[in-house]
Structure 1
Amino acid sequence: MSAEPRVRQRLEPDQRRAQIMKVARALFGEYPYESVATTDIAREAGVARGLINHYFGGKRGLYLAVVRQLVTAPSPIADDLPNSTVERRVTVLIDRWLDLVERNASMWLTAIGSEAAGRDPEIDEILFQGDEIATDWVIQAARLTESDECVTELRAAVRSFGSMMRAASREWLVRGAFTRSDLHVLLTDTLLHLLNVTFPALCASRRVAAR
């Protein structure tokens, strides 16, 4: 970590908060949580340490805010998708998601590593929220409507796919088992099969069971 403090600048509160989070995202992504001190973050951000407590309540609150921003913050991933086939829209959606993960690889792995290493109720809740947001993206991309008949199965199937996405991203970023191109093919083909084959079968099964 840098030993030289950054030159302090006069910024609006929202700008200052964003600056602290940007530095924290980089440090938490590069170093273990236990190795990052609020003094390190304050020095890199060029702010007084008290501002971290003021805005976030301390290191833990800042860490959770960074994870929440990465996993659940509004994103243009599903905005302005091509007015084309579902296959094309899903292809673009997956490509944008891979862009997001690749840009934030270290912090992404730190965030989902909490899920793999053990139970952390606060991280779990953030990841659950992220699952719901990602599910909305897929439903939007696929131009599906959440009919009352099969909404439970639809959302559960897409959330399950989200768990696969996180596991597959580890194979790409940590193990190197996939190239980005490989992963794009895997995720796109799997999601399209889920939407075109698996979900209709689940919905049909629901209708039969309801008779």
Structure 2
Amino acid sequence: MSSEDKTLSAEPRSRQRLEPDARRAQILAVARRLFGEQSYDAVSTTDIAREADVARGLINHYFESKRGLYLAVVRQLVTAPSPVADNLPNSTVERRVTVLIDRWLDVVEHNAPMWLTAIGSEAVGRDSEIGQILFEGDEIATDWVLQAARLTEVEEGREELRAMVRSFGSMVRAASREWLVRGALSRSDLHVLLTDTLLHLLHVTYPALRASHEGR
């Protein structure tokens, strides 16, 4: 190889040009992987910039700081990971709930390390910003469930119903650990557990609660 060839080969490759939204999404994807694989303190913005093939200053431009990027990753994962409730089949509630939970498990499985990191922060209970994001995630997930169950127009007992579905969300996080950490449940086991529990809540527990209120 000539000296000129060696010089050319040593030059850094040019960065791919992306639109701002695409570049931001690329940084989030890299950060989601790195924060899932390592602790927060072990990951630097330099690491993220190198893996994403961007200038480190671009991370500050989009997210202000490593902390801001971390919060954005958690928010993306627990509040809007994918359109899991979009285009559900025009079928029975049972079928719609089955599809909803299957899609959600896809999201969790695909992002398992970071998902466990996010819900681990909730367990520690010392990060108010993470707690607020998880609270928002509970409300969004509750909307998904009510959409799947065709209960979005419910007025009587609406707050009780939402509270029950949010409580189910806490079970989802605990059951996810049984699947991903302990290995005590398979994905198919978890799907059965979550589907049956949610349908029982909607078809049996919630109507019983409403009946008890009306009988007072």
Please give the TM-score of this superposition, normalised by the length of structure 1. Answer: 0.93
Check conservation: 1:150, 1:206, Cα contact below 8 A.
no
Matched position secondary structure for 1:77: coil
Q: What aligned pairs does 1:15-54 form with structure 2 within 5 A after superposition? A: 15-54=22-61
- Radius of gyration: which is bigger? 2
Match of 1:133 in 2: 140
Q: How many residue pairs are counted as aligned between the two chains? A: 205
Query: Paired residue for 1:177?
Result: 184
Please tell me whether residue 77 in structure 1 is matched to residue 84 in structure 2. yes
- The answer to whether the 8 Å contact 2:125/2:131 transfers is no
Verify the 8 A CA contact 2:81 2:107 in the aligned structure 1. Answer: no
Q: Is the 8 A contact 2:82 2:107 kept in 1?
A: no
State the 1:207 CA deviation: 2.1
Map Cα deviations across residues 90-118 of structure 1 (whole Å, 9 max, x no partner).
11111111111001111111111100122
- Three-state SS of the structure 1 residue aligned to 2:16 is coil
Would the aligned equivalents of 1:172 and 1:180 in 2 still touch at CA under 8 Å? yes
* 1:132-160 per-position Cα deviation (integer Å, ceiling 9, x unaligned): 11101111111114433201110000000
Corresponding residue number in structure 1 for 2:65: 58
List 4+ stretches of structure 1 deviating above 6 A: none
Counterpart contact for 1:7–1:46, Cα < 8 Å: no
The alpha carbon displacement at 1:36 in A equals: 0.2
User: Compared with structure 1, are the counterparts of its residues 101 and 74 closer, same or farther at alpha carbon in structure 2 (3 Å cutoff)?
Assistant: closer
Which residues of structure 1 form unaligned runs of 5+? none
Identity of aligned residues (%): 80
TM-score normalised per structure 2: 0.91
